[in-house]
Structure formats: structure tokens, C-alpha cells
Amino acid sequence: MKLLIRPAPEVAIKSKPVRRRQMRHLRQNVRKLLAQLDHDILVEGSWDRVDVDVPDDRSLAGPVLEVLLRIPGISTIQEIAAFPFVSLDDTVQKAVAAFAGRLDRKSFAVRVRRHGEHDFRSIDLERLTGSALMQAASDARVDLRSPEVEVRIEVRGDQFHIARRRHRGLGGYPLGSVENVMSLMSGGYDSSVAAYLMLRRGLRSHFVFFNLGGVAHEVGVRQVVHYLWERYGASHSAKFISVPFDGVVEEIMRSVGHRHWGVVLKRQMLKAASEIARNNNAVALVTGDAAGQVSSQTLTNLNVVDRASDEVVLRPLIAMDKETIIGIARDIGTEPYARNMPEYCGVISQKPTTRAQLSRVEADEAAMDPLILARAIEAREDTPVSELLNTITTPEEVDLVKTPAVSDIIIDVRHPAEGEQSPLQLTGNEILKIPFYELNRHIGELPANRQYLLYCDRGTMSRMHAVHLKAEGHENIRVYAPAL
């Protein structure tokens, strides 16, 4: 099987040096990924095309196409049949044979390209082929503007080929032909789609995750990052960088006015991501922000957030609505991951500001201990994305309890303001109020011979922390879930 790959149209209009570099990247990416299927697959090309020759005796057609359809920078993939050029009549006969039965009751157009010296024009071969196809097909019609089927013939010197089937590629630029970025990942719809769009644009990405919620959340993010990389970016190595951010969250809760929590958390993430990016040769940060989606994503707040970073912040979703984002996630395969991703809501203010003032936010931040952020950055864990599933930590199962035993101690892990607004009341159980951001520090002070049930309104935060504590060896932790 022979395949003809065309780059995205944007590549063709670049200057000659840029075009050569991008096509070299594309050939290298195709060659590297197809070699994983079979080392005998031949990949060659020129300034405007990549030619792939696949051995016919190894059932590789399906797997090869599956790989090519996921490589950034490819506009179209054409399955071609190559022949020696004998005459116009012979070329027409072979075109009719290739498209027999495929044009019935459809519109079509014949497109011919020639390279070299010939005693006929391209339009001559188009007319002869079109006339023969009209006679061979039932109720076919010619439509040169928007045909249902395109019959493509390319004549090169004493050879010609016919494109039998045409597949639409991923588009964009070849991966690695632009620059490096650092994608901030939460594992939800937005960050996953934003990271994909950067890969499609040819930007090699590393991935940074700020762990606010323990093992369960990180497991989900690792899985979706590995999926994205393996499917759309495996031609280049990438890092997954996990930063423990629970201490930073605790410091924000203690030192920052509650209306600024969300904005300050994002600023702290950008500060950390900027430093990590500089250490990994990344020149920009990528986030999944969309204008006005939540309070921290008003344009005013985003402007305040961006002042925390020296690197440019890219937001490919900025003008998208949620329905569009979810649609893309469904198309690229990340929707099941995002749908089941734990949502961490521990740093959402009751009345968050939508028009933060930089001077006030910076004054709030000045009350924070800068060593907390520095320690979090220092404690980060770097893992090659290719090894993420090899190093994955399986979250421990935790029991959900609807009706606690009388001896069980309930730990209300909500923020104090949230607890005051809707206090938890039980008649027969002791209730301890330990905010989630202080839980790790205080759990070791509690008697080990009692059973503790963590509680929060939604159940998400309590489950995350229960998983985290159980993974650290606290077997007496369960979750109080009265809404079961």
C-alpha cells in the first residue's frame, strides 16, 4: 500500500527554510511512529508531501492509517495506486477500474496534477477521465465546486498514481516544529482540550499538575495525560510534573481574604509553573480558562492572575462555551476521563470577587509565607509521560457510611465559613471540626483506636482526603455519606 500525505495548507505558504524545517519534522514524526508498527515501512518525501510505502503482506493498512490520522501537521492522507505511464487511454482505464461502483448517484470531479514534460495538458486528462467515469457510473454527475467524490490523478514523469481514497488528517503544524509549552492540567474538560489544541498546533508540551486533593485526583490526571500524549504527541518525549499544593492551599486559607482565594490560588500556580517551565525550556504556559466561565475567569481577574508570571499565558479556549469544549473532548476521546474526574472545590469563596484589584491581591499575598510555595516547587515529582502508567498509584478503596455507629467520630473537613453556614448536627456522635487543609497535620494527634468518618457537603473532598490518608497507612478512616 502506498500513501501520499499532504501537510496542512499553512505549511505550504511558509518561507522555504521554514517549510523545509516543518516538513522535516513531519517526516521524522511519521517515520518514528510507524517504525513502532514495522521497521520496513518506508517514509520519504519532498517539500510539499510525505510518501509512505507499506509492505502489502503484513496486514498493516488499518493500523498505519490509525496512526497517521492522529499525527499533527497532516492535512490529508491519500491511498494511492502507482503505475507506469503508458498512454492517456491506459490511465483513464485504470481510473475507471479504481472508482467502479463508487460514483453511482454521486457528484464527482477529476483533479489532475502533472510534473515534468508531457504532450498533453492536465485538463485533457481530466476531461477524458470524467467522460469515461460518467459512462461507467449510474446517475453520476460532475460538480467541480463541491463534489462528493474527488478523483485525483498525479502524473510524474513516466509514472502516475491514482488516489483511491482520501482521509482527512488532524491538521495543524508538525509536533516539535514550533516551541515548547507547559500545560497546566486538572484533568477536566477544559485543561485536556486546551492541551490537545496546543499539541495539534505543533507545540511540544510538558504537563504540570498541582495536587490539591490527594492520590485519587492525581491518578485520574495521570491517566488522561498519558492518553493525550500517547494518542497525539508520542513522537516526542514529555514530562508529567506533580506539585504537592495542599500546603499552599492551607497558607492561602490562613493568610488571604476569602474573596481573593481563587485568584490567589491561580497566581500561586502560575508562579510555580513559570519557574518549572524555565527549567524545562518551555516558553509559555497553557491553561483551560474560558472568559467568564467562573468568577476567577473574568477578564479583570485574568489580568490580575497573569501579572504573577513572566511567561506568556496561552488560553486556547478563551472564546469557547462549555458545550463546544465538551464536544471537542468527546471527539478527541478525553470526555470519559473528564466526566469521571473528581472535582476539587476546596478553594472556592462564598462571595468571590469578579473584579480583583492587583494592589489588594498583592497585599494579601504579601501576608503569605513565601517558603511554602518554594517548598512545594522543590517537592515536585517529575515523571516521563511514557512511564506514567508504569508508576501509577492505585487509589485505595474507602468505605462510604450512610449511618455511623455510635462510637464513630465524624470529622467535618469543610472550611469553617462553610460549616457555620450549614452546621452538621448529629445526636449520638462526636463531631470534630478539622478543615481539610489542616487534616494531614492533625490526624496523627487523634487516638488510633477510634474510627473516623470524614464529611463534606458534596462528598468529593472527603473521599479524596480519605483515600490520601488510607494510602498513608491510616486504616481507621472512612467517609460519612448520608446522601447515599
Assess contact for 155 and 165: CB atoms under 8 A: no
- Give the residue from 224, 227, 232 showing the smallest Cα distance to 185: 224
Position 243 in a domain: yes
Assess contact for 204 and 238: CB atoms under 8 A: yes
Measured in whole angstroms, how far is the alpha carbon of residue 40 from the centre of its chain?
31
Beta strands in 292-419, from DSSP E residues, in sequence order: 312-314, 381-384, 400-401, 409-412
Q: Which three cell numbers stand for residue 256?
A: 488571604
Whether 40 and 102 share a structural domain: yes
What's the maximum distance between 2 C-alpha atoms anywhere in the chain?
98
Position 395 in a domain: no
Assess contact for 290 and 189: CB atoms under 8 A: no
Position 394 in a domain: no
Position 82 in a domain: yes
Q: How many CA atoms lie within 13 A of 370 on its CB side?
A: 3
Residue pLDDT, tens place only, 89-136: 999 999 999 997 899 999 999 999 999 999 999 999 999 999 999 999
Q: What is the pTM of this model?
A: 0.80
Whether 7 and 143 share a structural domain: yes
Show which of 168, 192, 220 is a domain's final residue. 168
Whether 38 and 15 share a structural domain: yes
Domain count, the chain: 3
Active site residue 345: no
pLDDT of residue 214: 65
> pLDDT tier at 5 (50, 70, 90 boundaries)?
very high
CATH of residue 87:
3.30.2130.30
Residue pLDDT, tens place only, 171-185: 999 999 989 999 999
Find the DSSP H helices in 279-349. 299-306, 322-332, 335-339
Three-state secondary structure call for residue 416: helix
Whether 360 and 409 share a structural domain: no
CA distances from 120 to 81, 132, 150, 387 (A): 21, 17, 21, 57
Whether 31 and 8 share a structural domain: yes
Whether 153 and 214 share a structural domain: no
CATH of residue 367:
3.40.50.620
Whether 108 and 211 share a structural domain: no
Residue pLDDT, tens place only, 126-154: 999 999 999 999 999 999 999 999 999 99
Show which of 344, 364, 387 is a domain's final residue. 387
Assess contact for 256 and 368: CB atoms under 8 A: yes
Measured in whole angstroms, how far is the alpha carbon of residue 361 from the centre of its chain?
31
Position 417 in a domain: yes
φ, ψ for residue 245, nearest 5 deg? -115, 10
Residue pLDDT, tens place only, 173-217: 999 998 999 999 998 899 999 999 999 999 999 999 999 866 767
pLDDT of residue 350: 64
Whether 143 and 204 share a structural domain: no
Least confident of 9-13, 234-238, 265-269, 350-354: 350-354
**Which residue among the candidates 456, 461, 464, 477 is catalytic per the annotation?**
456
Assess contact for 12 and 48: CB atoms under 8 A: yes
Position 78 in a domain: yes
Question: In this structure, what DSSP letter does residue 146 have?
Answer: S
Whether 157 and 284 share a structural domain: no
| pLDDT surpasses 60 at 392 | no
CATH of residue 413:
3.40.250.10
pLDDT of residue 315: 97
Residue pLDDT, tens place only, 288-325: 999 988 888 899 999 999 999 999 999 999 999 999 99
Whether 291 and 428 share a structural domain: no
Rg over alpha carbons for the chain, rounded to the nearest Å, is 29
Whether 376 and 348 share a structural domain: yes
Position 278 in a domain: yes
| pLDDT surpasses 70 at 259 | yes
Angle between helices 358-366 and 299-306 (to 10 degrees): 50
Q: Which domain holds residue 434?
A: 400-480
CB contact set of 29 (below 8 Å; sequence gap of 6+): 71, 72, 73, 174, 175, 176, 235, 236
Position 175 in a domain: no
Whether 153 and 191 share a structural domain: no
Show which of 359, 387, 415 is a domain's final residue. 387
